[in-house]
Structure 1
Amino acid sequence: MATEDSRTVKGLKEVWSREENTLCADCGKPDPDWASYTLGVFLCLSCSGIHRNIPDISKIKSLKVDHWDEDEVQFLMQQGNAVAKATYEAHVPTYYYRPVHTDCLVLREQWIRAKYERKEFTQPGKQPQYSNGLKEGVLWKRGRDNGQYLPRRFLLSERGGCLKYFIKHDAKEPKIVVKIDTVNATFQPEKTGNPNGLQITYLKDNKTRNIFLYHEDGKEIVNWFNAIRAVQFHYLKVAFPVTSDQELKSRLTRNFLKEGYMEKTGPRQKEPFKRRWFTLDHRRLMYFKDPLDAFAKGEVFVGSREHGYAVLQGLPTGTQGSFTWPHGITIVTPDRNYLFTCETERDQQEWIAAFRHVIEQPMTPQEYAIEACFKLKP
């Protein structure tokens, strides 16, 4: 018996150490220490908790603590992450967002349920109806002025290349029509205080606008998110026919590089520093009075080092504007310097790292056009 147990433990360690099984099968987090003995996949702690909620599909055990039977280990050896991926991710559409371990719970949970529970990717053509280029439904939208969430009818159209919403369900004319190529969508559970909270940003007159939405059903809000990506992907396929699918995929929705509070002073740099909420969306640094504001109070273009942009730690000597937070940052642009302060050194270093990440990248032709629009602003 002891020999059988030791052989089982040895087999478990062997299959666990295979390269394919050293990352979580669902989110890619390194060093998973849980596994599903009904699906044959290796999982991180967080994803194993999601699997625990679908016991009819997946039953899990700890690889470190629990006892494993020989037949369970044999099944892991036959399956493993690579075999499961070939089965359950065989037909994931290019536009479909594959969550990573830093993504929010609703994205990761619906990815796992789509794979194993609904088996959406095992055969071609099993994706939800939004893959036909049209999606319509009711989402709860935050009011711009009163902050109250109210039901609004949304319509997403690939043929029209736009996202619309209507104040009343039977309204003929939309309140807003947003061109799909200016839309970004990112999940914001912490900012909105809702686990299914989604932030839609779009451009109007080259200025960023925000819409905050949610749906009670996690599957439905994730479907909307992927529907936006599907319509964007097909729009880009037409606009850039020779560009590879992977390159187009990189231009779909994106998470913000960094968000948080900093203090800033005005262009004369003599005014008191004021606390603002900042969002860095690649080369757009936007600031708001409140994180849930519909409109940015201002935006700063962050270009590349080769075009005169830089980020410096600290403030210029003799800065006159009064500030309460001690950790300064200076953004150098060809036109002027922007001065900010952070509450903690950690915040300061994280912001500097985010700015450097952007500044070190060469600008694309589209970004030159964006920079030119910023310079034309009054």
Structure 2
Amino acid sequence: MSGAEQQKQEKQQKMRALLQELLQRAGNGTCADCGAADPEWASLTLGVFVCQACSTFHKANPNISRVKSVYLDPWQASEVEFMASAGNDAAKAKYEQKIPAFYYRPTHTDCQVLREQWFRARYERDEFVYIEKQEPYSTGYREGFLWKRGRDNGQFLSRKFILSEREGSLKYFNKHDAREPKAVMRIETLNATFRPAKIGSPNGLQVTYLRDNSTRNIFVYHEDGKEMVDWFNAIRAARFHYLQVAFPGASDADLVPKLTRNFVKEGYMEKTGPKQTEGFKKRWFTMDDRRLMYFKDPLDAYARGEVFIGSKENNYTVLSGLPPSTQGNRWPFGITIVTPDRKFLFACETEAEQKDWIAAFQRVINRPMLPQEYAVEAHFKHKP
């Protein structure tokens, strides 16, 4: 190795050592964009350290950000000095000055559209520096057209939607000039969760609401990712203001987790009926908080049935396996849920799925019931 090459190598070792020191600084040990641990990339234009997944958004937008690998790319002294003068905490102070409490901050487990629009909202559109840029989701009223899946034919058709915080509802209309809405969804029971793979669109959103205390689903998307994320945050804003009125003493930290929720778990299992004499049937199951719903098809509007999952203090338990006398299940890995009134029997295709479902049920059962959940439980017990 020549003397010049050795000098160059020593310089890069020194640069890497300095970068390692910077990663130890407060705020730099997690991704500036999604919070994932141990970021391995850095933006030379924004001065932030980001994870591998978030670096893809930076790489795709060189007009906003130029990135280098902390460990693999060569670094100039001036670049390292810039990173030392900036860092994740400084970027947060600059780009996140006025984030509304209801605005959803994606994590590394969230879908692509949420993470990409978070990147654009902060670094490209300056949405959290200028409050007027938040109007699409913060005014309490939003209307527009979304592609909605038809309940019977499965086709996605353009439908007009109106979200009104004042009226406490999200409505959609089957005809563009219709006066009466096809459905009125109360903000009180509204939930929105991105389900791109299930819906078949990268911007697919599943909206659920309660009607007569039973869950209803609608599936929507928009070609424009910003449009769909704006709808999602508008729903969260409406829910936030509803909950502020409903729980006047609650803090933002108490209310924000209640705005929208992802499902605890979804997937196929087999089930049998209450007398356990009929055969097992394959169904799509969705665990939404304490409601275990089952559908013939994942994109059905209505559940075929729902099971309330209470807490261990109220005599709910989950067991691995099925009672010895059980017959009719094709899938070998059984689950028994014991409630105060009866047993529910399910079967999974693989042992891994059985373990995942049992862990999901256990998390819910280990959580004490809230006062309002007793009323939900009572309704399930008195269902005809």
- Shorter-normalised TM range: over 0.9
Whole-angstrom CA distance in 2 between matches of 1:130 and 1:10:
44
Whole-angstrom CA distance in 1 between matches of 2:362 and 2:121:
37
Match of 1:94, as an amino acid?
A
SS of 1:199's partner is strand
Whole-angstrom CA distance in 2 between matches of 1:241 and 1:82:
32
Match of 1:371, as an amino acid?
E
Structure 1 residue 17, shift from structure 2 partner? 2.7
Structure 1 residue 32, shift from structure 2 partner? 1.3
Aligned residues: 377
Matches of residues 317-356 of structure 1 in structure 2 within 5 Å?
317-319=324-326, 321-356=327-362
Structure 1 residue 336, shift from structure 2 partner? 0.4
Whole-angstrom CA distance in 2 between matches of 1:343 and 1:19:
46
Q: Equivalent residue for 1:293?
A: 300
Aligned with 1:25 (options 32, 52, 66): 32
Deviates more, 1:129-138 or 1:210-219: 129-138
Match of 1:153, as an amino acid?
K
1:86 aligns with 2:93: yes
Match of 1:253, as an amino acid?
T
Match of 1:236, as an amino acid?
L
Structure 1 residue 125, shift from structure 2 partner? 4.3
1:13 aligns with 2:20: yes
> Taking every aligned residue pair, what percent have the same amino acid on both sides?
63
1:376 aligns with 2:382: yes
Whole-angstrom CA distance in 2 between matches of 1:263 and 1:168:
39
Unaligned regions of 5+ residues in structure 2, if any? 1-6
Match of 1:377, as an amino acid?
K
Query: Retained in 1: the 8 A contact 2:96–2:122?
Result: yes
Deviations 1:268-289 (A, max 9, x none): 1121111000000010000000
Match of 1:171, as an amino acid?
A
1:139 aligns with 2:111: no
Deviates more, 1:75-84 or 1:251-260: 75-84
Whole-angstrom CA distance in 1 between matches of 2:76 and 2:264:
45
Whole-angstrom CA distance in 2 between matches of 1:102 and 1:130:
23
Q: Equivalent residue for 1:55?
A: 62
Query: Retained in 1: the 8 A contact 2:15–2:75?
Result: yes
SS of 2:134's partner is coil
Matches of residues 268-287 of structure 1 in structure 2 within 5 Å?
268-287=275-294
SS of 1:136's partner is strand
Q: Equivalent residue for 1:161?
A: 168
Q: Equivalent residue for 2:3?
A: none
Q: Equivalent residue for 1:217?
A: 224
Q: Equivalent residue for 1:228?
A: 235
SS of 2:275's partner is coil
SS of 1:372's partner is helix
Whole-angstrom CA distance in 2 between matches of 1:264 and 1:74:
62
Structure 1 residue 139, shift from structure 2 partner? 0.2
Structure 1 residue 359, shift from structure 2 partner? 0.4
Deviates more, 1:140-149 or 1:20-29: 20-29
Whole-angstrom CA distance in 2 between matches of 1:162 and 1:16:
46
SS of 1:367's partner is helix
Query: Retained in 1: the 8 A contact 2:16–2:70?
Result: no
Aligned with 2:191 (options 184, 187, 198): 184
Q: What is the root-mean-square deviation in Å for CA atoms of aligned residues?
A: 1.1
TM-score scaled by length of structure 1: 0.98
Q: Equivalent residue for 2:371?
A: 365
SS of 1:250's partner is helix
Structure 1 residue 170, shift from structure 2 partner? 1.5
Match of 1:68, as an amino acid?
W
Structure 1 residue 196, shift from structure 2 partner? 0.6
